[in-house]
Amino acid sequence: MMEGRKAPPEVVVGTPADAPAMERTLAAAFIDDPALSWIIPDRQERLRRYPRFFAQAVRHDLAHGFALRSADGQGVTLWRHPGDAKSGLGETLASVPGYLGALGRRLPRALLVSETIGAHFPRGLRFLYLHYAGVAPEHQGRGLAGAAIRAGQARAAIEGLPVHLETATETNVGIYLRLGFEVTAEYDVPRGGPHFWSMLWKPDQG
């Protein structure tokens, strides 16, 4: 290795034992996310509700996919296997009580966001879904999420799978472009909801 060149952050597979730490990282990372801020407009309420919300997200994504995180746990990505990007009927019914406890009266907005996102998934395409990617605010700028996303892309490339994601954060679009994704669509959630970008990475795009 060339002198002075930093080694990339180490990426490991997140396990159920890591769930509490991953939940804390994602709750901190998404505290001001545009989509979740529309679902829960009050920041203090988000601080109260996010831990339970991400406890549900981590549990379901580990059951239907996998997690890749930085070795120090400060960067976390959650992925869903092909065919599992949309929650099936059984998962939806099983998850409603948990999400109702996490979101309370905000649940209808969350369901509207989820339904709108699902309506914009690629049709007729098997893909790996990057559901969440976040870094604790005090650790941003270290390339933690980028390293975890590249590790997921490497997994996808082995299977010849594209990677799909949705983001409501405009500044993230440039980050994903640098990681080889391209914008495939833009849309707004109805009833004054957030603006989203759909993005896709293909194995032959590098």
User: In angstroms, how far is CA 32 from the centroid of its own chain?
Assistant: 14
1 in a structural domain: no
5 in a structural domain: no
Question: Residue 14 is inside which H or E element, if any?
Answer: strand 11-14
Contact yes or no for 75/9 (Cβ under 8 A): yes
User: In angstroms, how far is CA 98 from the centroid of its own chain?
Assistant: 19
- Overall pTM surpassing 0.95 (yes/no): no
State how many domains the chain has: 1
Greatest CA separation for the chain: 55
21 in a structural domain: yes
Can you tell me the distance from the alpha carbon of 161 to that of 155, in angstroms, rounded to the nearest whole number? 9
Total number of residues shown for the chain: 206
Check which CATH number belongs to the domain holding 124 and give it. Answer: 3.40.630.30
Amino acid of residue 142: R
Taking the alpha carbons of 36, 21, 130, 5 in that order, is the dihedral positive or negative? positive
* Beta pairing partners, 133: 77
183 in a structural domain: yes
Question: Residue 188 is inside which H or E element, if any?
Answer: strand 182-188
**Cβ neighbours around 67 below 10 Å, total:** 24
103 in a structural domain: yes
Structural domain containing residue 190: 11-205
Q: What is the pLDDT of residue 1?
A: 39
4 in a structural domain: no
DSSP string, 103-125: HGGGHHHHHHHHHHHHHTSPTT-
46 in a structural domain: yes
* Beta pairing partners, 67: 14, 78
pLDDT block averages, 10 residues each, the chain of length 206: 67 97 97 96 96 94 96 96 77 73 92 93 95 95 94 97 97 96 98 97 81
104 in a structural domain: yes
Q: What is the pLDDT of residue 129?
A: 97
Can you tell me the distance from the alpha carbon of 56 to that of 60, in angstroms, rounded to the nearest whole number? 6
